Amino acid sequence: ARGIQHTAVRQAHRKYEPNFHDKYGNMVLVGGAVVFTAVWAYVLTQAGIEWGLSPVGRVTPKEWRE
């Protein structure tokens, strides 16, 4: 138990050093959001996907073969 207390006290007096997430976390988050938005903007506008989901008027019956 004494060893844990000594370790805790040593760590409490140590100066705080920023880690990767502290330094770059917000930039990584913003960069990911920009890429996500750019990719979906391209998909929604340029990919040529037809977004009409209703089959009314598009489905036509085939000729019956005997």
Condensed to tens digits (0 to 9), the pLDDT of residues 5-57 reads 777 676 666 677 888 888 999 999 999 999 999 999 998 888 777 766 776 76
Q: Tell me the C-alpha distance between 50 and 5, whole Å.
A: 65
pTM of the model: 0.50
Is the pLDDT at 2 greater than 70? The verdict is no
pLDDT value, residue 29: 96
pLDDT value, residue 13: 65
Contacts 24+ apart (CB under 8 A), 35-38: none
pLDDT value, residue 11: 63
